[in-house]
Amino acid sequence: MDAIGTSGHYDRRLARYDIAVSRAHVTMLLEQGIVPAGAAAGLHRGLDELAEEIRSGADPLDPAAEDVHTAIEQYLETRIGTDAGWLGTARARNDLAVTALRLWIRDQVSALTGKLLELARALAAQAERHAATVMPGFSHLQIAQPVTFGHVCLAYAEAFLRDAERLRFVRALQDDCPMGSGALAGTGFPIDRDSVARRLGFGRPTANSLESVGDRGFALDFLSAGASTALDLSRFGAELVFWSSQPVGLISLPDELVSSSSALPHKRNPDAAELVRGKTGRVLGNLHALQAVVKGLPLSYFRDLQEDKEPLFDTADTLALSLDAAISLAALMRPNTDAMRGAADLNFITSGDLADRLTREQRIPFREAHHLVTELVRLAEKQGCSLGELPLAARREIDPRLALEDWPDITVEASVASRDSQGGTAPSRVREAAVQLRTRIDEFKDIEYETGDDR
């Protein structure tokens, strides 16, 4: 039972959040006349000393304690004696633990949001530098249309900014404070739940004590947003692995972010990008793990919920590390501009532009224009020439409307420049979008809140 029931060895990272909740609780108990002034002063003194020890890097809590909350009460007993017993008045471990966990998640939201914004900034910087750097755009991993490297960087920046928005939504859903719910039914003491909620930075107390202590929806929200972030990081990592592979060679990664092969000296393996992609599996697994724990639980608290913390801790740690690696990758990757331009110079890559022009200038319905250009491509393949080199007579045989004297030979640069719709890949639009993205990042309201001096 000791082995399976003890969580103190891993939930110790919640100590400062337990202290913050306990401070607010003791202050409220004193204001309500529930605890003697001397006992309250002793509790505050003991909690302050513990917070300072933890801040200094000391580890004063008993590692053999059942959990961090028990360890803190034991610490206070050794420091202030029997007055430590007043701390448990009008509360239970159930409402204490869930409140501390909500505060911890808030801090993780803030830290991860900051990293996501930094990643988006790094990609915006690449976009500004390479707004006109032409490269192939892929669909089904087949070269589809020419785009710019800057445009692709902004695509990922948009995805990561949405991940930051998801985290902000997670924070907004956690504005209710469970303290005062007790074990499950509330308390008979004349407590002031509003004052505790305010001191801890919540908007209001939770509405139902029974639901409050057994709820882990807020934890699942965090894991779900984390899984979405991990998926975007995985796609970004996969893109870099593909781009940097020798047959493709569109980008180069710095030595610090690759490794050499143990057997093949010529290889430069994109390990950082692969690990960013690989670590997604554990983040997705953490979400599923807690879903599986919660799915069979009626109201209210069960010991099963002890299993909520390790998936949460691991997801936060994994995402922080993966984001740090992704920021480095985004900032330090270098496009091989000649290789990009050469890869984009594929036969018939501007065929879609020709169909657009026939619709725009010859007023041929687009689906019909698409069909005609498909026939032109087949003819050009047979004749071993480009679309622009097809002779007038050959075009006339396909359709008289194609017998134009001014027959376009659309270049890759012209194709890219023409895609100037809002959000398009034209260099002017990429520069404009990069500026707008930076503004949105700067205006993004990162999540900050106050829960006491030790925070």
Task: Give yes or no for a contact between 287 and 227, defined as CB atoms under 8 angstroms apart.
Answer: yes
pLDDT at 279: 98
CA angle (398 as vertex; 397, 400 as ends), nearest 5: 70
What integer is the mean pLDDT of 386-391?
Answer: 92
144-154 residue pLDDT tens = 999 999 999 99
Residue 384 has phi, psi (to 5 degrees) of 65, 40
Residues 241 and 114 in one domain: yes
Of the listed ranges 1-5, 112-116, 164-168, 174-178, the least confidently predicted one is 1-5
The mean pLDDT value of the chain amounts to 94
Res. 449: pLDDT tops 50:
no
Give the range of the structural domain holding residue 7, as residue numbers without chain letter.
Answer: 2-89
Residues 402 and 318 in one domain: no
Strand partners, 205: 177
Residues 274 and 409 in one domain: no
Residues 403 and 271 in one domain: no
* pTM reported for the whole predicted model: 0.93
Instruction: Indicate the burial class of 209 (C-beta count within 10 angstroms; 0-12, 13-18, 19 or more).
Output: buried
22-61 residue pLDDT tens = 999 999 999 999 999 999 999 999 999 999 999 999 989 9
Looking from the CA of 238 toward its CB, the CA atoms found within 13 Å total 11
What integer is the mean pLDDT of 164-192?
Answer: 96
Residues 105 and 85 in one domain: no
Is residue 447, in this structure, part of any structural domain at all? no
Residues 183 and 261 in one domain: yes
Residues 152 and 276 in one domain: yes
> pLDDT: is 279 or 445 the higher one?
279
Is residue 271, in this structure, part of any structural domain at all? yes
Domain at 157, CATH number: 1.20.200.10
Is residue 198, in this structure, part of any structural domain at all? no
- Secondary structure in 3-state letters for the chain: CHHHHCCCCCHHHHHHHHHHHHHHHHHHHHHCCCCCHHHHHHHHHHHHHHHHHHHCCCCCCCCCCCCHHHHHHHHHHHHHHHHHHHHHCCCCHHHHHHHHHHHHHHHHHHHHHHHHHHHHHHHHHHHHHCCCCEEEEEECCEEEEEEEHHHHHHHHHHHHHHHHHHHHHHHHCCCEECCCCCCCCCCCCCCCHHHHHHHCCCCEECCCHHHHHHCCHHHHHHHHHHHHHHHHHHHHHHHHHHHHCCCCCCEECCHHHCEECCCCCCCEECHHHHHHHHCHHHHHHHHHHHHHHHCCCCCCCCHHHHHHHHHHHHHHHHHHHHHHHHHHHHHHCEECHHHHHHHHCCCCCCHHHHHHHHHHHHCCCHHHHHHHHHHHHHHHHHHCCCHHHCCHHHHHHHCHHHCCCCCCCCCHHHHHHHCCCCCCCCHHHHHHHHHHHHHHHHHCCCCCCCCCCCC
Is residue 193, in this structure, part of any structural domain at all? no
Bridge-based pairing state of the strands 268-269 and 259-260: antiparallel
Looking from the CA of 435 toward its CB, the CA atoms found within 13 Å total 5
Which residues are catalytically annotated?
Answer: 140, 261
pLDDT at 9: 79
Residues 386 and 402 in one domain: yes
Domain at 389, CATH number: 1.10.40.30
Residues 119 and 80 in one domain: no
pLDDT confidence tier of residue 6, bands split at 50, 70 and 90? confident
What integer is the mean pLDDT of 307-332?
Answer: 97
Residues 351 and 339 in one domain: no
pLDDT at 446: 52
Strand partners, 147: 135
Structure tokens at 360: 């725009």
pLDDT at 401: 93
Residues 273 and 367 in one domain: no
Task: Give yes or no for a contact between 196 and 204, defined as CB atoms under 8 angstroms apart.
Answer: no
CA angle (144 as vertex; 408, 421 as ends), nearest 5: 70
pLDDT at 451: 40
Res. 450: pLDDT tops 50:
no
CA distance 24 to 191: 12
Strand partners, 204: 176
85-100 residue pLDDT tens = 999 999 999 999 999 9
pLDDT confidence tier of residue 259, bands split at 50, 70 and 90? confident
Task: Give yes or no for a contact between 290 and 383, defined as CB atoms under 8 angstroms apart.
Answer: no
pLDDT confidence tier of residue 427, bands split at 50, 70 and 90? very high
CA distance 81 to 326: 50
Number of domains in the chain: 3
